Amino acid sequence: MGKCLTVIILIFTIWGSSAKAEELLPANKPLLEKYHEIEYGLKTSSFGLPVHMESFVDSNSSYVDIYGVVNHPFDIVKNNLKEPSGLCDILMLTINIRACTYHRIENDWLLTAQNVKRYSDPIENAFPINFKLAVDEQQKQFRISLTANEGPFSTKDHQFQIEAVPLDENTTFIHLHYLFGYSFLSYFKINTYFLLFRQGKIGFTVANDKQGNPQYVTGLRGSEERNAMRYYLAILAYLDTLGSPMDQRFERRLTLWYDLTTKYKKQLFEMKKEDYLSYKRYDEKSRLQLQKLN
């Protein structure tokens, strides 16, 4: 009873002290302008990669923005990321997506991602997130958007966006935006889950606690930072293996994604490499069977 009461007090403290989301949302500025704003930070990033992260959580919504530079020409990035099959290949690398399928209805592509709370949960227990794919393609900038009305934990208004601009002939600046909303009751349930069952899990942003001591963020914000970073590393693994023979890409992507996550063991470690490879090989077989039905 004492632990539950502490959890309730903590959640209401977080809710009561939250700033308004519109005050903290990143400015909607041109992507190239954003690059010049954070260029120095990308070169000196503590991630060990040219990566910059911003995140925010309040009682209505959560978002994470990851910006990075990839060593691939803009046209290669654009032409591969806009395909629904490529997006499913990316999502499938992450541990909580057990299957991803796509199909076309008239002029719209729809993607369904089978999301589980824990990687060990069977696909039968997954929550299907039904995304609608939209592509905004221009000569020197493009954006893909995956939007879904509903998600797990009674979340809503999911937005998963990737946009990119060329920096030179061989490098591209990309932005991953991950946002979803929820009711206050859902916010309460989510925070209760993390405070009771996911203690010790941290994110990437360092913030001061009430005593002024710097600590990694935890709870929902930490969780969403971990999820967003997993997606970003999946994009890197996908792009970096495009030059591999077709029949070797899947295995190489799995290995590369896992190896990239080991750079951030405190945040991203969930299972041994052999277990991850075993899970994902099984998932891929399930995904291919489900795709035939679409």
Question: In sequence order, what are the beta bridge partners of 134?
Answer: 145
pTM: 0.88
Better-scored residue on pLDDT, 127 or 14: 127
Domain 2-292: which topology?
Alpha-D-Glucose-1,6-Bisphosphate; Chain A, domain 4 (3.30.530)
d(CA 77, CA 171): 10
Above 50 in pLDDT, residue 6?
no
Above 60 in pLDDT, residue 132?
yes
Report domain extents, the chain.
2-292
pLDDT digit string, tens, across residues 19-32: 333 333 444 568 99
Above 60 in pLDDT, residue 3?
no
**Mean pLDDT of the region 87-101:** 96
Better-scored residue on pLDDT, 138 or 43: 43
Above 90 in pLDDT, residue 293?
no
pLDDT at res. 196: 77
Helix axes 84-93, 246-261, angle to 10 degrees: 40
Better-scored residue on pLDDT, 8 or 53: 53
pLDDT at res. 29: 67
pLDDT digit string, tens, across residues 204-255: 999 877 777 788 998 889 999 999 999 999 999 999 999 999 999 999 999 9
pLDDT at res. 212: 74
Least confident of 7-16, 126-135, 272-281: 7-16
pLDDT digit string, tens, across residues 153-180: 889 999 999 999 999 999 999 999 999 9
Above 60 in pLDDT, residue 16?
no
Above 60 in pLDDT, residue 88?
yes
Edge-to-edge order in the sheet of strand 61-70 = 51-57, 61-70, 172-181, 156-166, 142-150, 127-137, 108-115, 97-105
**Mean pLDDT of the region 110-115:** 96
